[in-house]
Amino acid sequence: MKSGFLHQSCIYGSDAEFLSMAVPFVQDGLRRNEPVLVTTTSANLDLVQQALGAQASDVDYAESAYFGRRPPQRATAFQRYWTRHRPAAPSGVVRILAEPIWFGRSQREVAAWKRMEAGLNVVLADTTIWMICPYDTRAVDAAIIRDALRTHPECVAGRRAEPCSQFVTPAEFAKRQSPPPRLPRDDAEVVRFDGALAATRLRVLGEAERLLPSEDNAAMFAIAVGEAMAYLHQRGIERVTAWVRLAAGRVVCTVHSAQPLNDLPPFVGFRTPALREQNGDGLWLANQICEWLDISSDDSGCTIELAVPGPRAEEEHDVD
C-alpha cells in the first residue's frame, strides 16, 4: 500500500460479491497485524463475522447507523479510530471498511453524505488509513452509485483494485454539490438583526433562549453561534446580518456578510483539532453540535447557516 490515505469504493450486488471483497481485506489486515474496523449494516456485520469464524473476535465492529449519525461526526470517528490504533500497527496502516447508510435520508442529507465521501480525501489525507466504502446496488439509488465513482479514486472488486476514471477532485465535487446560498425572507416567522459581530451574537442568543426552553440546548446553540462568529472575526469580518427562525422542527440561524471569504477551504469544519490545517478550523466544534452547518462564499459575500433541534424535539426528548 502506498503511504497516506487510500480511499476505495466497492460496488456490489450480492452477499457473495460483498464477502469477496470484505473477507480478504480483513484477513490480509489481520495477517499483517493491522487494526481493522468494519462498520456496515447489521446484516453485513453478521455475514463478515460468520465468514471469519475464529478470527472474528480480532476485528472491531460498529453498525454504521451508530458510528457517526451525521457526516461531521462520522469523519471525526474515523480520525479518532486511526489516532487510537495507529501505534499498534507495525506498518502504520489502519484498515476501515466503512459502508454509509443511505436509506430514508432527505435530499439534503444525501448531498451532505456524498460531500463527506469526497471530503475524506482531504480531511484524512495525512492519515495512514486504508478505507473501502461498499455500495449495495440492491438498496442504493443509481445516482448515489454514480457519485461514488466520482468521490473515490479507486474501485475494488474482490481483491482487484482499479482507478476510477470518473473521479473528480474533492473541491470540484463539493462545488457541484453546494447549492447557492439563499438568505431568509423577512417575514413574521423570521427575526433579523444587523450590526457588529459581538452585539449581533448577543441578540441572536437572546432570541434562541426564547425558542429553546432547555438550558442545555440553548447553551449548545450558543457555543455553535459563538464558534461561527469567531471564525468570521478571524477572517476579518466585523459586521453581519443574522436571521433566526424555526424551520422544519429546528432553530436555524443564518449569518451573512457582504464581505466574501477569500480562499475558503471546501471542507472547513471537518478536521479534528489534532488534524487542523495551519490556518485553523474553528468551525469543527460547531459542526459536531449542529444538525447542519453550511458555509459558502462568492462575490456577493459569505454566509454561514446552522441549525439545532427545535423546541418540539426537546419535548420529545424529555418524554423519552
Dihedral-angle region of residue 263 (phi above 0 means left; psi in -120 to 50 means alpha; beta otherwise): left
Same domain, 160 and 194: no
Task: Tell me, yes or no, whether 114 and 39 share the same domain.
Answer: yes
165 and 18 belong to one structural domain: yes
In a domain, 113, yes or no: yes
* Residues near 195 by beta carbon (within 8 Å), at least 6 away in sequence: 203, 239, 240
- Residue ending a domain, among 145, 177, 209, is 177
CATH number of the domain bearing residue 217: 3.30.565.10
314 is a domain residue: yes
1 lies in a domain? no
> Is the pLDDT at 216 greater than 50, yes or no?
yes
d(CA 71, CA 252): 19
pLDDT digits (tens, 9 = 90+) for 7-30: 999 999 999 999 999 999 999 999
Tell me: do 245 and 165 sit in the same domain: no
Residues with Cβ within 8 Å of 97's Cβ and at least 6 positions away in sequence, in order, are 22, 25, 26, 36, 37, 38, 39, 40, 131, 132, 134
Same domain flag for 42 and 83: yes
**pLDDT value of position 3:** 64
Res. 89: pLDDT tops 60: yes
Q: Is pLDDT at 4 greater than 50 in this prediction? A: yes
Sheet holding 190-196, edge to edge: 190-196, 239-247, 250-257, 301-309, 292-298
Torsion of CA 77, 83, 89, 94, to 10 degrees: 30
CATH code for the domain of 37 = 3.40.50.300
Q: Of 146, 177, 208, at which residue does a domain stop?
A: 177
With cut-offs at 50, 70 and 90, classify the pLDDT of residue 248.
confident
Is the same domain home to 63 and 142? yes
Contact in structure between 182 and 222 (CB atoms under 8 Å): no
Residues 189-216 have a mean pLDDT of 92
Report the amino acid identity of residue 186.
D
At 44, list the grid cell: 453485513
**Count of structural domains within the chain:** 2
Query: How does residue 320 score in pLDDT terms, banded at 50, 70 and 90?
Result: very low
93-115 pLDDT, tens digit each: 999 999 999 988 989 899 999 99
Residue 234 domain boundaries = 190-319
Question: Is the same domain home to 238 and 122?
Answer: no
Neighbours of 293 (CB within 10 A): 24
Residues 19, 129 within the same domain: yes
Stretch 272-296: mean pLDDT: 77
| Cβ contact 223:188 at 8 Å | no
Q: pLDDT over 90 for what percent of the chain?
A: 73
Rounded to whole angstroms, how far apart are CA atoms 36 and 28?
10
- Residues 107 and 128 placed together within one structural domain of the fold: yes
Confidence (pLDDT) at 278: 42
